[in-house]
């Protein structure tokens, strides 16, 4: 009972939807912060009139990192659900009780690889194999972090470009000072636009890369680590007996084989019962057909006998009618005519 309580507590700590929920909460928090503090900052107007297009590059990398973090969060959620199902499968029988028809999940591939290695009488390195299976998730999480660092770098580059534009505008304004008023105003406009570029690129790079994407990378990294911990825990708690050629492993293997044999025997018994019922039904059908054929034969004999009697009656009636229709002179001739006496044939 204590073991079940410990397992239930572990299930509470390893929630499969935790990564996805954290991602959604952070998106909502960032959206609320934008509408609360930066809605009136004129950000979209600056993006529309940005001549350097450095802000567009920053937004493109941010969208890539955001989409990657969402895809990774969904994938980690599916992997956690698959790990929970696998834990139910291996809880009683270990790796012998694990059966899968699809290898689309990394956790399923991991346990399938362990089972294949155990079937070939080898001793696999469980941690190294798990690192290999989860390497794709780790690389994707690092790419999100790299995208955040790249946004900070792009923000610094935009700052330098904005300061360069500012200096260029101020230089042209100083040259036109006292000579050309229009050129002076144009130089001041370029200087202000350069200051805007420096400010907005620094702001976007710091917020989108240094805050938002870094938190998204941390969420996905924790999701990968949580999946690693849960998978390794399942392997150590329920499958550790399968790694060593011990008596307990042999007993578990024999128990699994006996259970499989019992299921096959039950299947054969059900098949034999079905065959026995079919044979009984066939025997009853044959008896019924035999009874029907006997009744038909009796009915046919009775019909033949009735037809024979009717024929004899009709024959006797025809003879009587023939005798009645003879004239008086024919009867006198028959009386006077000599008829030889017929002898009956000997009875056999």
Positive or negative: CA dihedral 231, 234, 239, 240: positive
For the chain, the residue count is 348
Same domain, 239 and 273: no
CB neighbour list of residue 126: distance below 8 Å, 6 or more residues apart = 114, 232, 235, 236, 243
Looking at the domain assignment, is residue 133 inside a domain?
A: yes
CB 213 within 8 A of CB 65: yes
Dihedral angle, C-alpha 286, 292, 296, 297, nearest 10 °: 50
Q: How far apart are CA 142 and CA 122, in angstroms?
A: 33
Residues 186 and 311 placed together within one structural domain of the fold: no
Give mean pLDDT, residues 89-100: 73
Question: Which of the 8 DSSP states describes residue 121?
Answer: T
- Residue 19: name the closest of 195, 153, 137 by CA: 137
**Is residue 294 in a domain?**
yes
205 and 311 in a single domain? The answer is no
User: What range does the domain containing 272 cover?
Assistant: 260-325
Closest CA relative to residue 50, chosen from 172, 208, 156, 194:
194
If you compute the radius of gyration of the chain from its CA atoms, what whole number of angstroms results? 50
120 and 178: one domain?
yes
The answer to whether residues 202 and 300 belong to one domain is no
169-183, 220-234, 331-345 — which is least confidently predicted? Answer: 331-345
169 and 225 in a single domain? The answer is: yes
| Other beta carbons less than 10 A from residue 30's beta carbon | 17
> What letter does residue 176 receive in the DSSP assignment?
T
Asked whether residue 235 is domain-assigned, the answer is yes
Tell whether 196 and 311 lie within a shared domain. Answer: no
**Euclidean distance between CA atoms 128 and 300, whole angstroms:** 88
Could you count the other beta carbons within 10 Å of the beta carbon of residue 21? 13
Nearest alpha carbon to residue 204 among 47, 45, 29, 16: 47
The percent of residues above 90 in pLDDT, for the chain, comes to: 14
Q: Is residue 333 part of a domain?
A: no
Q: Is residue 250 part of a domain?
A: no
pLDDT per position as a tens digit, 202-222: 888 888 888 899 999 999 999
pLDDT more than 70, % of the chain: 72
Number of domains in the chain: 2
pLDDT of 38 > 70? The answer is: no
Q: Are residues 61 and 183 in the same domain?
A: yes
Distance CA 102, CA 91 (A): 20
pLDDT in tens, 216-268: 999 999 999 999 999 888 888 887 766 665 555 566 667 767 777 878 888 88
Does 93 lie in the same domain as 67? yes
Mean pLDDT of 41-59: 71
Task: Look at residue 1 and tell me whether its pLDDT is greater than 60.
Answer: no
Question: Quick one: average pLDDT of 320-344?
Answer: 64
Average pLDDT score over residue span 6-31:
74
Q: Evaluate whether residue 255 is within a structural domain.
A: no
Q: Which residue did the predictor score with more confidence, 329 or 1? A: 329
pLDDT in tens, 261-288: 878 888 888 888 888 888 888 788 877 7
Do residue 141 and residue 217 come from a single domain?
yes
Over residues 139-157, the pLDDT tens digits come to 999 999 999 899 888 888 8
């Amino acid at each position: 009972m204590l073991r079940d309580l410990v397992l239930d507590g572990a299930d509470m700590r390893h929630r499969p939807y935790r990564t996805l929920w954290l991602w959604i909460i952070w998106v909502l928090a960032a959206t609320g912060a934008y509408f609360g503090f930066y809605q009136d900052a004129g950000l979209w107007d600056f993006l529309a009139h940005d001549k350097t297009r450095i802000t567009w590059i920053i937004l493109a990398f941010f969208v890539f990192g955001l989409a990657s973090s969402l895809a990774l969060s969904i994938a980690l959620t599916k992997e956690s659900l698959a790990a929970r199902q696998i834990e139910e499968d291996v809880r009683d029988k270990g790796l012998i009780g694990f059966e899968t028809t699809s290898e689309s999940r990394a956790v399923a591939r991991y346990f399938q690889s362990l089972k294949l290695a155990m079937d070939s009488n080898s001793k696999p390195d469980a941690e190294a194999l798990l690192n290999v299976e989860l390497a794709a998730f780790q690389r994707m999480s690092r790419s999100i972090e790299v995208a955040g660092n790249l946004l900070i770098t792009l923000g610094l580059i935009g700052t330098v470009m904005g300061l360069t534009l500012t200096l260029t505008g101020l230089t042209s304004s100083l040259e036109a000072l006292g000579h050309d008023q229009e050129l002076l105003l144009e130089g001041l406009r370029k200087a202000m636009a350069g200051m805007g570029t420096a400010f907005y690129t620094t702001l976007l790079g710091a917020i989108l890369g240094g805050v938002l994407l870094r938190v998204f990378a941390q969420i996905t990294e924790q999701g990968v680590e949580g999946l690693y911990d849960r998978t390794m825990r399942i392997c150590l708690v329920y499958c550790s007996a399968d790694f060593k050629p011990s008596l307990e492993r042999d007993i578990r293997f024999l128990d699994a084989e006996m259970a499989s044999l019992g299921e096959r025997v039950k299947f054969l018994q059900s098949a034999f019962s079905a065959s026995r019922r079919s044979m009984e039904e066939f025997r009853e059908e044959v008896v019924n057909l035999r009874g029907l054929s006997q009744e038909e034969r009796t009915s046919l004999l009775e019909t033949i006998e009735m037809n024979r009697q009717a024929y004899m009656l009709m024959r006797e009636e025809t003879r009587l009618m023939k005798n009645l229709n003879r004239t008086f002179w024919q009867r006198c001739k028959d009386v006077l005519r000599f008829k030889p006496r017929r002898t009956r044939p000997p009875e056999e």
